[in-house]
């Protein structure tokens, strides 16, 4: 495939997802539609609460926290380095660490108050609510893991498809867990995914450009 087409596609995805994030961020504290969406989705997700599911959601959300994501991130990074795929390892580090930094900076700027602490099933973080850092970071890690398996030279197609599906489900589960546990609004999670898509398109576009440029030499 022509690399210019790929870069233009990545640029289009970046613009659309960033525009979606901007629109949501601009209205998140004032929009009646966003408030209704948050209320409706939160009520629906939290209606699933059961003791067994409470425990599962806590494990899922923990896996995308500082300790869990450090283990997952370093594990994927060193695996790629061990397999001689250093450029992909670097892209993984940039994608995940950049995602952490972006969400943290935007939290400090936008300063959205978290949902009511009395309704949360875990301790409410002291940081602001928008966007969801757990959702952003898990999305970025999942993208890196999908890229790692899709570019693996000897992995069978079935294994690639299975890992890709599991990674997508993991990112979705983390986002749902944040709403389920009562520490985020659904719009925080959607915003994190939109921001993650924008950041993914940048990192993936740059990585693809460098890879194809090196191959052409």
pLDDT at 214 (0 to 100): 64
pLDDT digits (tens, 9 = 90+) for 108-134: 999 899 999 888 999 998 899 999 999
pLDDT at 155 (0 to 100): 80
- Rounded mean pLDDT of 130-148? 94
Name the pLDDT band for 4 (thresholds 50, 70, 90): confident
pLDDT at 156 (0 to 100): 87
What number of residues does the chain have?
Answer: 217
**Largest Cα–Cα separation, the chain:** 60
> Per-residue pLDDT for 209 more than 90?
no
DSSP label at 28?
T
- Which residues are part of the catalytic machinery? 134, 184
Name the pLDDT band for 46 (thresholds 50, 70, 90): very high
CA-closest candidate to residue 141, choices 163, 116, 122 = 163
Residue 4, CB-side half-sphere exposure with 13 Å CA sphere: 0
Domain segments of the chain: what residues?
Answer: 3-216
Task: Give the global pTM.
Answer: 0.91
Distances (CA, A) of 44 to 41, 181, 190, 208: 5, 12, 16, 40
Residues in contact with 125: Cβ distance below 8 Å, sequence separation at least 6, in sequence order: 114, 183
In terms of CATH architecture, what is 3-216? Up-down Bundle (1.20)
pLDDT at 208 (0 to 100): 82
Name the pLDDT band for 42 (thresholds 50, 70, 90): very high
- Rounded mean pLDDT of 32-52? 94
pLDDT digits (tens, 9 = 90+) for 66-101: 999 999 999 999 999 998 888 889 999 999 999 999
Tokens matching residue 213: 């440029």
pLDDT digits (tens, 9 = 90+) for 158-193: 989 999 999 999 999 999 999 999 999 999 999 999
pLDDT at 10 (0 to 100): 87
Average pLDDT, the chain: 91
- Rounded mean pLDDT of 136-158? 90
pLDDT at 119 (0 to 100): 87
> Per-residue pLDDT for 37 more than 80?
yes
Name the pLDDT band for 1 (thresholds 50, 70, 90): low
Secondary structure (DSSP) of 69-81: HHHHHHHHHHHHH
């Amino acid at each position: 495939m022509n690399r210019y087409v790929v870069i233009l596609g990545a640029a289009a995805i970046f613009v659309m997802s960033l525009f979606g994030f901007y629109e949501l961020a601009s209205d998140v504290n004032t929009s009646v539609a966003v408030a209704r969406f948050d209320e409706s989705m939160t009520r629906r997700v939290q209606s699933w609460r059961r003791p067994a599911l409470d425990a599962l959601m806590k494990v899922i959300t923990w896996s995308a926290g500082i300790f869990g994501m450090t283990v997952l991130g370093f594990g994927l990074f060193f695996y790629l380095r061990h397999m001689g795929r250093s450029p992909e390892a670097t892209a993984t580090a940039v994608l995940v660490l950049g995602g952490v930094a972006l969400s943290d900076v935007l939290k400090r700027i936008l300063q959205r108050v978290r949902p009511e602490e009395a309704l949360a099933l875990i301790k409410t973080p002291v940081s602001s609510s928008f966007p969801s850092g757990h959702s952003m970071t898990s999305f970025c890690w999942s993208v890196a893991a999908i890229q790692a398996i899709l570019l693996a030279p000897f992995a069978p197609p079935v294994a690639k498809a299975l890992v890709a599906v599991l990674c997508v489900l993991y990112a979705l589960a983390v986002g749902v867990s944040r709403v389920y546990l009562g520490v985020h609004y659904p719009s925080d999670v959607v915003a994190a995914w939109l921001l993650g898509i924008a950041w993914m398109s940048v990192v993936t576009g740059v990585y693809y450009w460098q890879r194809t440029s090196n191959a052409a030499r």
